[in-house]
Amino acid sequence: MSLEIKESPHPLKPASISQLKQALRSRSPEELTELCLRMARFKKENKEMLSYLIFDADDELAFIISVKQEMDRQFAEINTSSIYFIKKSIRKILRIAQKFIRYSGQKQTEVELLLHFCRKVQPFVGAMKHSTALTNLYLRQVNKIEKTLSTLHEDLQYDYGEELRTVQGSLKT
């Protein structure tokens, strides 16, 4: 009887994706289920990602709608008593949107959610005139949309390009 010694990475360094892939292939479905559930309990983002993959990935449109509704709710709750609170709230909403964009991994979802974010930021144009940081945050999202748009199908580029021009035009007025 011989013992098989597994090559494991240093405990403080995570394994590479290829090492993880190889190790996961040798596990039974029950073991994989247990590993996934353990990861979900370990960190909230893991649980959210697993929830997306299991429940939302099959219906991307419903996922986009639910994220937009959450963004709308958070924009409605922004404390507008000072620029500080506006900036802090907008940055938080953007972090949440970016997290869901990462979960999806689809370029169309990224464009859709960032366009929605930019539309919802527009009522805060007055605050943006007094805050370079807020203006720059907005412009970075517009640039991100433009860059991502170039990777989409021509028809989508045209449709989303029109929306982007509308968003950009209303900021200038």
CA 104 to chain centre: 7
Q: Does residue 104 share a domain with residue 165?
A: yes
Q: Do residue 50 and residue 91 come from a single domain? A: no
pLDDT at 172 over 70: no
What is the pLDDT confidence band of residue 15, given thresholds at 50, 70 and 90?
confident
Tell whether 168 and 139 lie within a shared domain: yes
Give the confidence band of 5 by pLDDT, cuts at 50, 70, 90. very low
Asked if residue 111 is part of any domain, the answer here is: yes
Do 28 and 109 lie in one domain? The reply is: no
User: Does any domain span residue 28?
Assistant: yes
Parent domain of 81? 59-172
Around Cβ 141, how many Cβ atoms within 10 Å? 20
Domain annotation covers residue 162: yes
The answer to whether position 120 is within a domain reads yes
Domain count, the chain: 2
Report yes or no on 121 lying in a domain: yes
Q: 102 pLDDT band (50/70/90 cuts)?
A: very high
Handedness of CA 99, 76, 159, 133 (dihedral sign): negative
The count of residues in the chain is 173
State which amino acid sits at residue 167. V
How far is it, in rounded angstroms, from Cα 143 to Cα 155?
A: 20
26 and 77 fall within a common domain: no
Long-range contacts of 154-162 (CB under 8 A, 24+ apart): 156/108, 156/111, 160/111, 160/112, 160/115
**Residue 166 to residues 30, 74, 77, 116, 171: CA-CA distances in angstroms?**
51, 23, 25, 12, 9
Q: Are residues 67 and 113 in contact, defined by beta-carbon separation less than 8 angstroms?
A: yes
C-alpha to C-alpha distance for 93 and 74, rounded to whole angstroms: 7
Q: Residue written as tokens 């999806």?
A: 104
| 94/143 same-domain check | yes
CA 98 to chain centre: 3
pLDDT for residue 6: 54
Residue 111 pLDDT:
95
Asked whether residue 8 carries a pLDDT value surpassing 60, the answer given is no
Does the structure show a pLDDT above 50 at 1?
Answer: no
pLDDT confidence of residue 16: 87
